[in-house]
Structure 1
Amino acid sequence: MDTIDRKLLALLRKDGRASLSALAQALAVSRGTVQNRIERLTRDGVIAGFSVRVTQADDPHAVRAVMMIEITGQKTLAVIQALRGLPEVHALHTTNGAWDLVAEIHADNLVEFERVLRGVRAMDGVSKSETSLLLTTL
């Protein structure tokens, strides 16, 4: 994944229904380039699908969590790239202390949340993680 792919994923996270033309204009590339990249990212499994997200207040089954991640060796950039490709990762932060990264995860339900959790824990370079579900926003 290069810079254009990452920017494209960020735009699609904001608006998964954005037109190819609008995405091309925002990325300063051709419409065909956007279409080819979306097809490649989908084929390679980076884009797992497109879905509708509703606000948490409207969806009692939605799951939000914070995941602290420890990375082994020199794998930080690879892990960051992989995490940025997950639509459920809404924010990613570097941090100091015992943990290398903190990921904010939003999933539609517990089944999807568990799938994301297993996927992150299985990533090459992730040595340890600790996850806390977010219950009530005050």
Structure 2
Amino acid sequence: MITEQDQKLLSLLRTNARASISDLARALNLSRSTVQNRISRLEQTGVIKGYVLQYGNEFLNEQVSAHVSIKVKQKLTTKTNVELKQMSQISALYAISGEHDLIAVVQAQSLEQLSKILDDIGNLDGVERTNSSVILETKFNR
């Protein structure tokens, strides 16, 4: 069970996973050993799986991102998922309900590279059709 203090700790770590134990303890008004024990417990119970790299705004502003809805032939779903996972420009893949089966989040260095990636996705065995929405601006991201 996650306590209110655990929620606050997770929120601080989500903002800055590299924050020192001392800074976290100060922000939570707890001892360093208590914070370290909470983090260890959250890691051991699987609440915290790991820590990830977050790109800076300057780098992200140079990227072109898109959500790509993908309709897949049912018999080739597993094969298609594996092939999509191999594409390093796809940062996330979600199974969805509705007309399409999947949504991929694609990140590229340019519109030309995005176009090539979209062609690569569309040419995968098992992909029936795609529909792309280029992300123009990120209002917020948590």
Does residue 97 of the first structure (1) align with residue 104 of the second (2)? no
TM-score by length of structure 2 reads: 0.56
Q: Please tell me whether Structure 1 or Structure 2 has the larger radius of gyration of its CA atoms.
A: 2
Shift of 1:72: 1.4
Find the aligned partners of 2:75 and 2:81 in 1 and give their Cα distance: 12
Other-structure match for 2:80 = 79
Shift of 1:115: 1.1
Shift of 1:120: 0.3
Report the RMSD for the aligned CA atoms in angstroms. Answer: 1.9
TM-score by length of structure 1 reads: 0.58
Unaligned runs of 5+ in 2: 1-53
Unaligned runs of 5+ in 1: 1-53
| AA at the equivalent of 1:70 | K
Deviation digits for residues 72-108 of structure 1 (CA, Å, limit 9, x no counterpart): 1400001100000000000000011111000000111
Deviation digits for residues 29-79 of structure 1 (CA, Å, limit 9, x no counterpart): xxxxxxxxxxxxxxxxxxxxxxxxx94631444100000000114000011
| AA at the equivalent of 1:71 | V
Find the aligned partners of 2:120 and 2:128 in 1 and give their Cα distance: 13
In the TM superposition, structure 1's runs of 4+ consecutive aligned residues that sit over 6 Å from their partners are none
